[in-house]
A and B are shown apart, each in its own frame.
Chain A
């Protein structure tokens, strides 16, 4: 079980959270101008890196807030977690 560092509540068990996939996917600024291909990319395409990944979690049985966190998809080691709309810490080494 992962121990996940909620930026509001501190480290808690994985079972308190829900996963939200890749972080920093913004709604398209001009949706009316998107081609079908760009819509497909927005809706269906997410990065799937082997290594460090900036992802979202929601602390749904705790503070119920969303946040972002760096995690390594090979080792499951976590990097820094950070609140939405704050500056993204650089990718851990």
Chain B
């Protein structure tokens, strides 16, 4: 199937049903907990790459109702460390062929991602990141303020503002996609290959016998499984506690917002750690902006309005033109954050139970790569090369993958 880039006026019609809604069977080869992006991608690659189709994805709410349907959809692979380069670049490469592969439009749009530097130390850390990317063969450009202005004319680059723009990194292959369509594409493709997607099915207990997982108790009864894979994002701590082990994760609200529909003024993605802004303009025309995490632990999928106000005040520093835009909607998701701001992936202390978590504020971009490498990990019952560095053991060995600084605004 060939997919042409289309404009909003010609959005394709959805079929009435993209996937079947079966009742759970008594047993499966693999149960995936959580129908967010990572769970759905994992199920798809299990079926597609390994022929493992006796798989159920259990979702307590509705498909992609968690962070998958709430993120600001920024995609890039220009992280600092080699381990990150591995998995995020694999992911970006998969994005580049994904719509064709699953046969579903996702509005994957490589409009570029620009990360601004505003102070001397900021500039140095961005340049360090830029050189690290070069060493890892990840496309990256260094932009002067004038070049920034050329790509994004609405950025205020005058030197006498609170946060002057001193330069930027630019990854031209980065961009955005329509997150719900990505979930639906994976869901449809997985369902077509025989995977059962079961919504309204909450895992209440992970059953372990003699150190090995045997299935899950749900609100729809016990379902047995040879293997169980957790892809529950903000609820990972709750699930691993059910299975009898702890994870070093904290769940926090992360909020985002959109403006009313505006004419197109921005055709790239702009991030700034110092000002704490990340913004893109959706295909329909709304400005999409992400805020910072709220300070406290929460499972409430909402945060404080002062966080939104702070976010908008920052945005106006860089984009004075936004001052007349109206805020249309704000929302929050619950993100699972590890001490080094990198994911926790792979095997667990329980045999045949696997973990895919800790993607925190930045896991949308990793959806294809994570699902791809996690499916391989589950199929072979050992960590895939790209997954290995992200084991739970790293918090004991000290091999942390510190992406706090590199990410800046963490996306």
Report A's interface with B, CB cutoff 8 A: 1-2, 14-15, 18-19, 21, 36-37, 39-41, 43-46, 48-50, 53, 55, 71, 73-76
Contacts and interface: CB of A to CB of B under 8 A. Distances in A.
B394 to A, nearest CB: 9
Given A71-B296, A75-B300, A21 B250 contact: yes
Given A15-B306, A74-B300, A44 B295 contact: no
Contacts of A49: 237
Interface in B263-310: 295-300, 304-306
Interface of B: 235, 237-238, 246-251, 295-300, 304-306, 339, 395-398
Contact of B298 (A21, A44, A73): A73
A2 B305 CA distance: 10
Nearest to A38: B396
A44 B297 contact: no
Nearest to B236: A48
A73 B304 contact: no
B251 A48 contact: yes
Nearest to A2: B304
B306 A48 contact: no
A11 B297 CA distance: 20
B312 to A, nearest CB: 15
A18 B396 CA distance: 28
A1 B306 contact: yes
Contacts of A44: 248, 339, 395
Given A48-B249, A73-B297, A40 B395 contact: yes
A17 to B, nearest CB: 8
Contacts of A48: 237-238, 249-251, 297
B397 A21 contact: no
Contacts of A14: 295, 304, 306
Contacts of B398: 36
A71 B297 CA distance: 10
